[in-house]
């Protein structure tokens, strides 16, 4: 038995590439599956959300401008970093949720593989969903999918890591930036994932992660006028209609998803059609 006292981590938010504490000064307690205290993560406030949206908006133009090849490589880099730190994630998932190590290991593997899968979509989605439109006249006319802007998301409670990646990856792969609220009960892997992002060449502000309560943050996400889309996958279905009502003020695009597929990427993209005359 060692007498060494281990160094515990302070779990903070992830906004604009930095790890600030919540401006509200509030925290909440996260316990292990066995009821033992683990950490006091931040209880994010409306102001934290606003700060995160400002960062996400500022980052969006640059991220959107990055080439598809570059975005794909950065997402792949996130997968590399996650793979390298998988033991930490397995431990955190086991500790917080009480699942077996085998099950936690499987979740981390799937999370890594999912990132790789979405990384590959960056330079393929427009070939599959774009179009050259044969209009009845001397015009060159094409439609391409474009990123939508700043997207908010509520990650599902479980699986806390895979669920988080399933909301983040399809949103950012097209050039959107995201503000995501992590699993309330199991926020540890989300905040450790922020450390992965911070070392993966993801530009500051592209991914912003908050921890806290869904019922407190989700309505502010729905009504925020500088958020273009909202993934409510992690929110109970019965609460979706209130989100859609609040989101109507800026006609926010609000969706929830049951699977991972390219439709999930396209849901937060806009089709742009361009006409140009053909002639001498």
Partner 1 sequence: MSFDYAPAPESRAVVSIKPKYGHFIAGKFVAGSKHFPTINPATEEVLSHIALAGKAEVDAAVKAARKAYTTTWSKMSGKERGKYLFRIARIMQERAREFAVLETLDNGKPIRESRDVDVPLAAAHFFYHAGWADKLEFAGLGTSTKPHGVAGQIIPWNFPLLMLAWKVAPALAAGNTVVLKPAESTSLTALLFAEVCQQAELPAGVVNIVTGDGTTGALIVNHPGIDKIAFTGSTEVGKIIARAVATTHKSVTLELGGKAANIIFEDAAIDEAVEGIVNGIFFNQGHVCCAGSRLILQESVAEEVLDKLKVRMAKIRVGDPMDKNTDVGAINSKEQLMKIIELAASGDDEGAQRWSAPCDLPSKGFWFAPTIFTGVTQAHRIAREEIFGPVLSVLTFRTPQEGIDKANNTPFGLSAGVWSEKGSRILWATQQLSAGVIWANTFNKFDPTSPFGGYKESGWGREGGRHGLSAYLKGVGHE
Q: Tell the smallest beta-carbon distance from residue 133 to partner 1 (Å).
A: 4
Given candidates 4, 25, 276, 280, which one binds partner 1 under the rule CB under 8 A?
Answer: 276
Site for partner 1 in 216-235 (CB under 8 A): 228
Task: Quote the distance between the C-alpha of residue 100 and its chain's center.
Answer: 26
Q: Tell the smallest beta-carbon distance from residue 175 to partner 1 (Å).
A: 11
Burial annotation 109-124 (CB, 10 A radius, 16+ → b, else e): ebbbebbbbbbebbee
The answer to the question of residue 10 lying near partner 1 (CB under 8 A) is: no
Q: Which is nearer to partner 1, 113 or 146 (CB)?
A: 146
Contact 214, 161 (CB under 8 A): no
Q: Cα–Cα distance between 140 and 205 in angstroms, integer?
A: 37
Given candidates 33, 131, 158, 198, which one binds partner 1 under the rule CB under 8 A?
Answer: 131
The answer to the question of residue 70 lying near partner 1 (CB under 8 A) is: no
Burial annotation 249-266 (CB, 10 A radius, 16+ → b, else e): eeebbbebbeebeeebbb
Angle between helices 86-97 and 101-121 (to 10 degrees): 130
91 to 120: interface string for partner 1, x by CB under 8 A: ------------------------------
The residues of the shown chain that bind partner 1, judged by CB under 8 A, are 128-129, 131, 133-137, 139, 141, 143, 148, 228, 241-242, 244-245, 247-251, 253, 255-259, 261-264, 266-267, 270-277
């Amino acid at each position: 038995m060692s007498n060494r006292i281990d160094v515990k981590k302070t779990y903070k938010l992830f906004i604009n590439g930095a790890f600030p504490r919540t401006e509200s000064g509030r925290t909440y307690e996260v316990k292990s599956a066995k009821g033992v205290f683990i950490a006091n993560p931040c209880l994010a406030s409306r102001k934290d959300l606003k700060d995160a949206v400002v960062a996400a908006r500022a980052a969006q133009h640059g991220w959107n401008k990055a080439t598809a090849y570059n975005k794909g490589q950065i997402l792949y880099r996130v997968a590399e970093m996650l793979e390298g730190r998988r033991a930490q994630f397995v431990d955190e998932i086991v500790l917080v949720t009480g699942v077996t190590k085998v099950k936690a290991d499987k979740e981390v593997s799937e999370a890594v593989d999912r990132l790789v899968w979405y990384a590959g979509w960056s330079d393929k989605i427009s070939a599959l969903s774009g179009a050259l439109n044969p209009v009845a006249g001397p015009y060159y006319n094409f439609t391409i999918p474009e990123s939508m802007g700043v997207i908010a998301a509520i990650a599902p409670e479980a699986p806390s890591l895979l669920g988080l990646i399933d909301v983040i990856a399809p949103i950012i792969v097209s050039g959107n930036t995201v503000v995501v609220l992590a699993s309330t009960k199991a926020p540890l892997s989300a905040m450790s994932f922020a450390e992965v992002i911070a070392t993966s060449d993801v530009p500051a502000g592209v991914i912003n992660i908050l921890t806290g309560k869904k019922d407190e943050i989700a309505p502010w996400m729905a009504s925020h006028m500088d958020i273009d889309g909202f993934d409510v996958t992690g929110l109970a279905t019965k609460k979706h209609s209130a989100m859609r009502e609040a989101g109507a003020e800026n006609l926010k695009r609000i969706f929830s998803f049951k699977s991972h597929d390219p439709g999930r990427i396209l849901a937060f993209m806009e089709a742009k059609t361009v006409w140009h005359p053909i002639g001498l």
